[in-house]
Amino acid sequence: MLGGKHRDADKLNEIDTLIRNSLPTQLVISDVCVFKTGSFYLVVVYIDSRCLSDISMQPVTLKLDETKEKLSAQYGAIRMEVALR
């Protein structure tokens, strides 16, 4: 789909699984949304903000960076954003 939420179930599952397996288990991921415009992907990872009070942010930041690199290596033009709920 152009300029909207990506509907390829296999690709969505691949990206969702990669993110959930790469980030610390202490992060409560409520949703992963993938948007596609042309060959560019935007991935928004929604995290439950209540889980952050018990987590050191430095390791989380490193894991987020590593996850972005994995996504870029596999899908090319991709951007990952984190949103708190």
The pLDDT tens digits for 55-84 are 888 888 899 999 999 999 998 899 999 999
In this prediction, residue 1 has a pLDDT band, given cuts at 50, 70 and 90, of very low
Per-residue confidence (pLDDT) for residue 54, from 0 to 100: 80
Q: Is the pLDDT of residue 2 over 80?
A: no
**pTM of the full predicted structure?**
0.84
**Enclosing domain of residue 46:** 4-84
- DSSP-assigned states of every residue in 32-73: EEEEEETTEEEEEEEE-GGGGGGS-HHHHHHHHHHHHHHHHH
The CATH number for 72's domain is 3.30.300.20
Average pLDDT over residues 7-31: 90
